[in-house]
Amino acid sequence: MERWINSTAGPDFVLLGLFLHIQAPKVLFTLIFLVFLTALGGNVMMMILIWLDSHLHTPMYFLLSQLSLMDLLYSSTFVPKIAIDFLSGRNSISYIGCGIQLFLFTTLVGAECLLLAVMAYDRYVAICHPLHYSVLMCPVVCAFMVTGTWLGALLNALIHVIYTLSLPYCASREIHHFFCEIPALLKLVCADTSLYENGLFVSGVLFLLFPISAIMASYGQILSTILRLRSNLGMRKALATCSSHMIVVSLFYGSAIIKYFLPKAYHTEEQDKVVSVFYTILTPMLNPLIYSLRNKDVAGALRKVLGR
């Protein structure tokens, strides 16, 4: 308790940010802010469409609305702070503010990892066991799985944030990142963190490797079923739905695995920032675009709303 009080009373952390070695910081900031506005508009639009159109009141679109909510909260955790720091010229963040940002990020990234696996299971049941879909993905089961993703991510985030913030930090509080993230914070710790890093690896296995293994197994079964379909229309519809999800999965998990599982010798701090921008800012913008452009039901709902 005394250590925590001393830490909160100490100097603020300094986020060195994205613009430290950039020749045209205003251009990069403008691009990031435009991406944020696109993500904001796209995810809000997706949630409104799913809420308004009764044809979209199905488990698949309920899960998609949860993904849009996560992406909306995700990008809102970082970009407003980036904008305030850039416009004010102050890059500091308080100890408590850093903890809140770390908690939100860890919760949302964990919840999205688990939710993408649930979405793959939904498509597996819909395509491989269509006759049992209404039972296996009934509203109660669907709500239970979504609640499980949020609670699992919250518990994981709570454990990591409490432990990370209880570590002793050195005099230098310059974080070589644009937000508070565990790997960046551990570089400022004046203690041996190797044991905790092993715990982080285990957490990564649970929230990254296990879900992506489940996703690959689900889509292996889906591909096998699709190849046996005699209806070209059914095959095209199944491929269109699943390909959208696989694009989203590849973008999110690919960048996260590069960041957390690639050995440190193979990536620099600047490369880490680029990868972090990809899965914290770009992916939330791309997800609604991918689903709206490649999904006829969503596109049809959008045309209906615009027609009104």
Task: Categorize the per-residue pLDDT at 291 as very low, low, confident or very high, splitting at 50, 70 and 90.
Answer: confident
pLDDT for the residue numbered 250? 82
Q: What is the mean pLDDT of residues 268-282?
A: 80
Tell me how far apart the alpha carbons of residues 88 and 39 are, in angstroms, rounded to a whole number.
24
Name the average pLDDT for the chain. 84
Q: What are phi and psi of 14, to 5 degrees?
A: -120, 120
Longest CA–CA separation in the chain, Å: 69
Q: Look at residue 6 and tell me whether its pLDDT is greater than 60.
A: no
Over the stretch 28-84, which tens digit does the pLDDT of each residue have? 889 989 999 999 999 998 899 889 888 888 999 999 999 999 999 988 998 898 888
Task: Categorize the per-residue pLDDT at 257 as very low, low, confident or very high, splitting at 50, 70 and 90.
Answer: confident
Q: Look at residue 171 and tell me whether its pLDDT is greater than 80.
A: no
Q: What is the mean pLDDT of residues 260-266?
A: 72
Q: For residues 148 and 280, which has the higher predicted lDDT (pLDDT)?
A: 148
User: In a 3-state reduction of DSSP, which class is residue 292?
Assistant: helix
pLDDT for the residue numbered 121? 94
Which residue's entry shows tokens 């914070």?
A: 185
pLDDT for the residue numbered 263? 72
Phi-psi region of 167 (alpha: psi -120 to 50; beta: other; left: phi over 0): beta
Q: β-strand 13-15 against 92-93: which pairing, if any?
A: antiparallel
Neighbours of 220 (CB within 10 A): 11
CA dihedral 180, 185, 187, 192 (to 10 degrees): -160
Beta bridge partners of 15: 175
Helix 232-261 vs helix 283-294: crossing angle, to nearest 10 = 170
Beta bridge partners of 189: 169
Over the stretch 175-226, which tens digit does the pLDDT of each residue have? 888 889 888 898 899 888 889 988 888 898 889 889 999 998 988 888 888 7
Task: Categorize the per-residue pLDDT at 11 as very low, low, confident or very high, splitting at 50, 70 and 90.
Answer: low
Q: What is the mean pLDDT of residues 9-18?
A: 76
Enter the pTM of the model: 0.88
Alpha-carbon torsion 97, 98, 99, 104, what sign? positive
Tell me how far apart the alpha carbons of residues 72 and 192 are, in angstroms, rounded to a whole number.
36
Instruction: Kindly provide the b/e burial profile for residues 84-105, where b requires at least 16 CB atoms within 10 angstroms of the residue's own CB.
Output: ebbeeeebebebeebbebbbbb
Q: What is the mean pLDDT of residues 300-305?
A: 76
Contacts of 265 (CB under 8 A, 6+ apart): none
Task: Categorize the per-residue pLDDT at 149 as very low, low, confident or very high, splitting at 50, 70 and 90.
Answer: very high
How many angstroms separate the Cα of 34 from the Cα of each of 215, 246, 275, 280, 281? 32, 25, 18, 14, 10
Over the stretch 92-148, which tens digit does the pLDDT of each residue have? 899 899 999 999 999 999 999 999 999 999 989 998 898 999 999 999 999 999 999
Q: Look at residue 5 and tell me whether its pLDDT is greater than 50.
A: no
Beta bridge partners of 16: none
Residue-level length of the chain = 308
Task: Categorize the per-residue pLDDT at 233 as very low, low, confident or very high, splitting at 50, 70 and 90.
Answer: low
* Range in 2-6, 65-69, 293-297 with the lowest mean pLDDT: 2-6
- Please, how many CA atoms are within 13 Å of residue 299, restricted to the half-sphere of its CB? 9
Contact 125/63 with Cβ under 8 angstroms? Answer: no
Task: Categorize the per-residue pLDDT at 4 as very low, low, confident or very high, splitting at 50, 70 and 90.
Answer: very low
Task: Categorize the per-residue pLDDT at 266 as very low, low, confident or very high, splitting at 50, 70 and 90.
Answer: low
- For the chain, the structural domain boundaries read 12-306
CATH number given to 12-306: 1.20.1070.10
E-assigned strands of 7-59?
A: 13-15
pLDDT for the residue numbered 230? 67
Give residue 63's identity as a one-letter amino acid code: L
Contacts of 104 (CB under 8 A, 6+ apart): 73, 77
pLDDT for the residue numbered 241? 64
